Amino acid sequence: MVKKNPLRRLSVALRLTEAYQPAQSPDSMMNAPSLNQFLTDAKASYLKDVKEDPTKAAAWTVVMGNEAGGVWSLSSLERLTESFADLDTLASSIAYAWILSEVDKVLSVPLLPMERADLSLRAENLHALKMAGLSEDALLTLTELADFRPQKFALVDHNRLGPTYDPNAEVVAIIDHHHDEGFYLNANPRTISPCGSSASLVAALLPPEPPAELCTLLLTAVLLDTDGLKPGGKATDVDRSSALFVATKSTISNSIPPLSALSPIDNPDPDALYDAQAIKDLVSTLTLKKTDVSHLGGFDLLRRDYKEYTHPLPWVPSQPAIKVGLSTVPARLKAWGSDGRLEKDAVEWMRRRGLTILGVLTTFRDTKGKMLGKSGKHGKHKREMAWIILQETEMEQISAKGLTIDTLANRLFASLEADTEIEVKKHKKFDVEKSSHLPPKAKVKVYKQGNAQATRKAIAPLVKKTLESTGPSDSTAESGKEGPASKY
């Protein structure tokens, strides 16, 4: 009797590929090159075409994850390098490029939207690559592309190209777990489904016998994004089923109980892997590497895990737009931002990116106490946030058209303070409102965040709603007077 792969049922249920049928038989996969060799060959062939025949290069499908801060300026071909692929983006792009190339026989190459010199900013990525037997030299980064801009993309871990890309570029496929922004409706597949990790959705497209190294890479991403498949946490059934499949095919499969011991084939236990010691050990190692940023200064911390947004302001008569950045930093403010360092590094970063607003979102554990929390980790999980608004760049022009920095600041701060999900209160031990290290007219507030479970995925929509909503706040914006916080 042939064993059923639970992921095949999952793939059909999610309509990932309309009952995915691999172009190659399982036997043909036996002759496929190693994952590292695939990456090396794909990178070399693609760059050869880029150099010798841009027309041929434009036919390649470039699989790219979340590019965060952008890549190219269309007007000057200037590369914007502030983008640092996280592990989900890294694993998803490599895995989907392998599927396209080795299974569907489509010319494809994964691209990490970052400079090669910045690979070291994410130690967890390097550890996952090492576990998968992959060389950093085999990866394609922006450093190797010079001024060439790809024309055909498959997007993973996001579903919209940034505004700095060629607007005529074609998006042929999307696999993502974020909010659907409604673009590229002809992409095939176009899978945008909520779950803990995009790597889980990609794993559902693997053939029955994928490379063990690729399964290891995907497993690390799923585990890190779901806190080790913690029950009641971020993990969905998609994440658990995918993790169960790739774990038993990975290079660490000998370290975990057999699939039959973990879960029945036809009725998989959704939490089967969570208690496996090898999984717990791997999650602990990845988490420690991700949170160890002791070697980084404030400027690198701000750009290490960064997302950027452009928000129109319909409540201002001229209806301008401003740029907002959100940086997630895995260390308390006092550890790296005291004595004016936060203000200096933040202002430098904001000026480089042309930001009007920067939100610095910290996440850390209070290690003063030695008690173990429910998670088995030392210290209570805490979050802080610092917000800086500059009277520079776009604001100087916008101010002459009906908006002042005071109006913008009051609107943002009132919205944050009124929100019942994030539960902020003024940070009395890190007060920089009167800092001498800020430019004139700049506005800043620092909060402690009561709800430590509210991540950037909760903060970003709140900021979007605050800045882009019309309604009661229109009149206060036009008059320059602020209404009560409840209006925001």
Query: Band of the pLDDT at 433, cuts 50, 70, 90?
Result: confident
pLDDT value, residue 120: 83
Among candidate residues 93, 82, 80, 67, the one with its CA nearest the CA of residue 304: 82
Residue 205 lies in a domain: yes
Among candidate residues 272, 226, 267, the one with its CA nearest the CA of residue 247: 272
Whether 128 and 23 share a structural domain: yes
Whether 277 and 301 share a structural domain: no
What is the spatial distance between Cα 45 and Cα 51, in angstroms, rounded to a whole number? 10
Per-residue pLDDT reduced to its tens digit, 85-112: 889 999 999 999 999 999 999 999 999 9
Residue 433 lies in a domain: yes
End-to-end, the C-alpha distance of the chain in Å comes to 61
Query: Band of the pLDDT at 129, cuts 50, 70, 90?
Result: very high
What is the spatial distance between Cα 19 and Cα 16, in angstroms, rounded to a whole number? 8
Whether 66 and 198 share a structural domain: yes
Among candidate residues 367, 359, 297, 349, the one with its CA nearest the CA of residue 328: 359
pLDDT value, residue 397: 62
Query: Band of the pLDDT at 115, cuts 50, 70, 90?
Result: confident
Residue 291 lies in a domain: no
Whether 128 and 268 share a structural domain: yes
What is the spatial distance between Cα 113 and Cα 115, in angstroms, rounded to a whole number? 7
Per-residue pLDDT reduced to its tens digit, 331-380: 999 999 999 999 999 999 999 999 999 999 999 988 765 444 444 456 78
pLDDT value, residue 117: 84
Across 88-102, 120-134, 181-195, 466-480, least confident range = 466-480
Q: Which segments within 249-371 are labelled E, that is strand?
A: 306-312, 321-329, 357-366
Decide which of 285, 311, 335 is a domain's last residue.
Answer: 285
Q: How many CB atoms lie within 10 A of CB 54?
A: 12
Among 73-87, 260-274, 436-450, the range of highest mean pLDDT: 436-450
Across 106-120, 365-379, 430-444, least confident range = 365-379
CA atoms within a 13 Å half-sphere pointing along the CA-CB vector of 311: 27
Tokens of 325: 């950045």
Query: Does the pLDDT at position 61 exceed 70?
Result: yes
Q: How many CB atoms lie within 10 A of CB 307?
A: 19
Residue 1 lies in a domain: no
**354: buried, middle or exposed (CB in 10 Å: 19+, 13-18, 0-12)?**
middle
**222: buried, middle or exposed (CB in 10 Å: 19+, 13-18, 0-12)?**
buried
Between 394 and 248, whose confidence is greater? 248
Whether 320 and 215 share a structural domain: no
Burial readout 64-81 (b: 16 or more C-beta within 10 A, e: otherwise): bbbbbbbbbeeeeeebbb
Sign of CA dihedral 97, 98, 99, 103: positive
Helix, strand, or coil here: 194? coil
Whether 206 and 323 share a structural domain: no
Q: Which segments within 65-217 are labelled E, that is strand?
A: 108-112, 140-141, 152-156, 170-176, 190-192
Residue 228 lies in a domain: yes
Residue 290 lies in a domain: no
Residue 97 lies in a domain: yes
Whether 281 and 325 share a structural domain: no
Whether 303 and 278 share a structural domain: no
Is 200 within 8 Å of 238 (Cβ atoms)?
A: yes
Domain of 383, CATH number, reads: 3.10.310.20
Q: What is the Cα 374 distance to its own chain's centre?
A: 27
Whether 185 and 231 share a structural domain: yes
Decide which of 285, 314, 330 is a domain's last residue.
Answer: 285
Query: Does the pLDDT at position 436 exceed 60?
Result: yes
Tokens of 232: 């009641």
What is the spatial distance between Cα 149 and Cα 160, in angstroms, rounded to a whole number? 16
Query: Does the pLDDT at position 401 exceed 80?
Result: no
Between 293 and 100, whose confidence is greater? 100
Residues near 344 by beta carbon (within 8 Å), at least 6 away in sequence: 298, 437
Residue 275 lies in a domain: yes
Query: Does the pLDDT at position 17 exceed 60?
Result: no
Helix, strand, or coil here: 383? strand
Is 57 within 8 Å of 50 (Cβ atoms)?
A: yes
What is the spatial distance between Cα 156 and Cα 192, in angstroms, rounded to a whole number? 10
Alpha helices in 210-295 (DSSP H): 212-225, 237-249, 259-262, 277-291
What is the spatial distance between Cα 44 and Cα 49, in angstroms, rounded to a whole number? 9
Query: Band of the pLDDT at 265, cuts 50, 70, 90?
Result: low
**Phi, psi angle pair for 45, to nearest 5°:** -65, -40
Q: Mean pLDDT across the stretch 396-412? A: 80
Whether 370 and 249 share a structural domain: no
Torsion angle (degrees, nearest 10) of CA 89, 93, 95, 98: -170
Per-residue pLDDT reduced to its tens digit, 21-56: 444 444 545 556 799 999 999 999 999 999 999 999
pLDDT value, residue 163: 72
What's 32's DSSP letter?
A: S
Q: What is the Cα 465 distance to its own chain's centre?
A: 21
pLDDT value, residue 488: 26
What is the spatial distance between Cα 14 and Cα 477, in angstroms, rounded to a whole number? 44
Query: Band of the pLDDT at 481, cuts 50, 70, 90?
Result: very low
Split into its structural domains, the chain has a count of 2
Decide which of 246, 261, 285 is a domain's last residue.
Answer: 285
Query: Does the pLDDT at position 249 exceed 60?
Result: yes
Per-residue pLDDT reduced to its tens digit, 225-246: 999 999 999 999 999 999 999 9
Domain of 42, CATH number, reads: 3.90.1640.10
Is 183 within 8 Å of 222 (Cβ atoms)?
A: no
Q: Mean pLDDT across the stretch 436-451? A: 93
Whether 29 and 115 share a structural domain: yes
What's 359's DSSP letter?
A: E
pLDDT value, residue 69: 44
pLDDT value, residue 3: 40
Is 382 within 8 Å of 364 (Cβ atoms)?
A: yes
Whether 463 and 315 share a structural domain: yes
Task: Name the average pLDDT for the chain.
Answer: 83
Which residue range forms the structural domain that includes residue 342?
Answer: 297-487
pLDDT value, residue 457: 87
What is the spatial distance between Cα 65 and Cα 176, in angstroms, rounded to a whole number? 9
Q: Mean pLDDT across the stretch 426-452? A: 91
Q: Mean pLDDT across the stretch 121-133? A: 94
Q: Are β-strands 152-156 and 61-64 bridged in parallel, bridged antiparallel, or unpaired? A: parallel
